[in-house]
Amino acid sequence: MHQILVSLGALLRKSFSYFIEAIAPSNCAVCGKLPKPVCVGCANGLFEEALFESRQILGINIHYAFAYRGGPRELILALKQHGETEVARLLALVLQPLLTREVGVADTVIVAIPPTATSMRRRGFWPMQLVLRQAGLPVRNLLKWSRKVKAQHNLPRAARRQNRQGALTAKPAVAGRNVVLVDDVVTTGATVIEARRAISEAGGEVVAVVALALAAKINYPHFESIDETLKELR
């Protein structure tokens, strides 16, 4: 396993340097210096921070590349909050090998958590759809928000759960399929749990979750915030 991760890191580092050479100079999304979207120094820093870790929560394997802090956080925010769409190509390099590893199973379908209507209006684009397109992997749009939800980041944990519960609907095409669920940042796990509920209600099964980053506020790298969410749900 360690060997695989080491070679994965080497491969990515190579792809990154090709990528960095191919892009037009502007400001680095991490440090604000040249060039864009990420300078060589910051790209190397990102690889030092890359974890490619997995955790299993109630039978769901969650695979993620980064802890949501420092450079990786800046990069994700550059795409999501500042509309730096070039960053999507860079994030795709990280997401692509994580996803490819999960998609070998027959009848597996990649489903991304869709943005809420409010986020879509504000940004005008779907950040993870851009990333997945850049990763060159087929994605099915099989989840939709069936009612309005508030932004999660200002809500306490119990309110987050309530805010998400019953809010997603999976389309009938998900029936009988093994689903690899994709999200940008997993925080309390409330959205992932809601997506799994919706997918299983429509007859599909979430076999893995792939995320760019994990934002566990308490005692990273343990999944305590998700564990607490799950305890509340039992």
Is the separation of the CB atoms in 7 and 13 below 8 Å?
A: no
SS3 (DSSP) at 83: coil
Give min distance, CB of 88 to Zn ion, in A: 17
Q: Report if residue 31 touches Zn ion, rule: CB under 5 A.
A: yes
- Give min distance, CB of 35 to Zn ion, in A: 8
Q: Which is nearer to Zn ion, 28 or 131 (CB)?
A: 28
| Closer residue to Zn ion (CB): 85 or 116 | 85
How far is the CA of 156 from the CAs of 20, 80, 94, 152, 197, in angstroms? Answer: 39, 22, 30, 8, 21
Confirm if 94 and 31 have CB atoms less than 8 A apart: no
What's the closest the beta carbon of residue 23 comes to Zn ion, in angstroms? 13
Q: Does 75 bind Zn ion (CB under 5 A)?
A: no
Among 12, 20, 30, 98, binds Zn ion (CB under 5 A): 30
Residue 42 binding Zn ion, by CB under 5 A: yes
Six-digit token string for 228: 């607490």
CB of 207 to Zn ion, least distance (A): 36
Q: Which residues of 91-102 are buried (b: 16+ CB within 10 A; e: fewer)?
A: bbbbbbbbbebb
Residue 20 binds to Zn ion (criterion: CB under 5 A): no
Binding site for Zn ion (CB under 5 A): 28, 30-31, 39, 42
